[in-house]
Structure 1
Amino acid sequence: MITAWQALEKGIVTGCIILAILFVMGMNLIIKAAAEKVEARRRHRSHGDYSSREARSRRSSRCLFRAKRFPSIVNNPIKCLGKWFDANLNDSNNIRRLQGQVKEGLGAIDKIRLPGKFKALLFQYGLLPRLTWPLIFYEVTKTTVKALERTISKFLRRWLAVPPSFTSRRERGGKWSESNAVEAAEIRLSHQDIVGTTCVGRQGLGTSHVLRWGTSDKAGKRKMVQDDIRKMEEEIRKAKVVEMGAQGAWTRWGTTDRRLSWSDIWRMEPCRIQFLLRSVYDLLPSPTNLHRWGLTETPDCPLCNRPGNLAHVLSGCNVVLTRGRYKWRHDKVLKELANILERERIKKRKPATSCTFINFVRGREGGHTSSTVHQGVSLTAHRTGR
């Protein structure tokens, strides 16, 4: 069985690689033959008669295929529809070309004398779109993609001043499978439909909107699967972090979660980002960490001779507290606010205009329409009927 015939008047079949190669080769032959014929006529325009020139032109066009005038695909690969084709008929050379493009692009961005966040911006909007297109065309293995990811992550960490101990990867017994993760998410969502909506705390019926797996459309199911996989990955990461004593201490904090968006990173300086990340994961050079890393002999605070951990350095040293170092920054902010309020207080303003009041009468008594200005209930209260 073959596919049905398709009526094509112009162009080539979209997606057929062989047909695209044949089309390029055919057009190349026609253009080369015409160019050779025109060049032969120009060269022999002033010599001999017309018949000899015509004969020479015909012989040159017949010998065109026997002569070595066309570049071979072995020496000169052909680029068609954004993809390179060579004599190997595989993507090994293209993958090596992609790896070289990644190294050259990152090296060129790294040499620019700009702050790190500008380099990250150049990578996101300049180099990354050029790398995404070859990854769509060529059959790149996961190992190669992970190697490219490690190379890119190395430069981004340096540009954004992220500590080298930070990583987004977690160790597993085997490779992560997308199909298995999607299948497990679908099973969990189907089981959630069977369990139904559960009440949490004092939450009443109908206070929250719950999406059902059975009644959702295709787009809704796709979003539910993505959210469930992201939730499970986050739970696995938190379970791994809880096992760490120092770096996982932030899980026991009673504060709200904070997510750094690209706009937040863009407004912050690299030193502030580095301090924020290191303080959350207890990687600052405190006396305790310096002693743990083998750089000092004692883990005590040099001011009060107590264990100088992160909490002690930031807000727990009594000597620093009595000297006013902790509240110096807050006092500066409050002083600025006080100055602004004082300037607004002493600013001269126009006196407020007097309000117009009316008299209320009983329902059975006759009233008059004239209004008087005196102390009483305001006109606004009369309009509201209160």
Structure 2
Amino acid sequence: MVMAFYYILLNAYGTIPHKLVETTLKTYHVPEQFQKLLQCYFDKFNMCFTCGNFTTDWQRLEVGIVTGCTILVILFSAAINLLIKSAEKLHRGAVLASGIQQAPIRAFMDDPTITAKSVPEDLVELTDWARMEFKSAKSKSLVLRRGRVQDWFCFKIREDIIPTVKEKPVKSLGKWYRVDLNDKESVKEMLIQAETWMTSLEKSGLPGKYKAWGYQQWGASQTALAIACLRSTRLHC
């Protein structure tokens, strides 16, 4: 039997505390001069609000990252990785019929998939410690036994029952998981998306060399990524 839990954070980019980033830099032994440089950068994050004729004073921001800033995306990934690895060290993943033991958590950025029953509670505790919020309504669970989805078991975090993929499909690490565990719908969506994009490119009126550039830089890469997700992200039971 395989259990999977798709963990969703509420507005992770906008609510990640700067203190968590600071702790991450210290934990990963980033040189002190770089820590001070980044701290000075964070200290300049200020915001004010205007309502009618009244404008507030400048308020220093203590949470959130700036969209479009390359270094902050890296720091965000490192901070989320710190939370995930802290929970991962406490548990072992599921053992497959072949004897291979899976990692208890697989994640990309703030999109973790958990395959150990007791990990979610510890991850929620770490999320609370970091002053971030877990979104139970958006999270999903999946229980497989002999290749079929089961509904007799539900993940429960505190008082919240986590919905299953029977209620609504979930997308994790680039792949859709549905109750029938079939990729036919995902393949259809990928083909429709590729056809729509190619049609738009063809009707754009751009010269041929720009169409070729657009196909190489976006169309081919996006299609290849979708195919890779369909091939690589599979659950075994």
Higher Cα Rg, which structure? 1
Same fold at TM > 0.5: no
Q: TM-score under structure 1 normalisation? A: 0.22
Which protein is richer in helix relative to its size? 1
- The two structures have a TM-score, normalised by structure 2, of 0.33
Which protein has greater RCO, CA pairs closer than 8 Å, 6+ apart? 2
Q: Which has the higher strand share?
A: 2
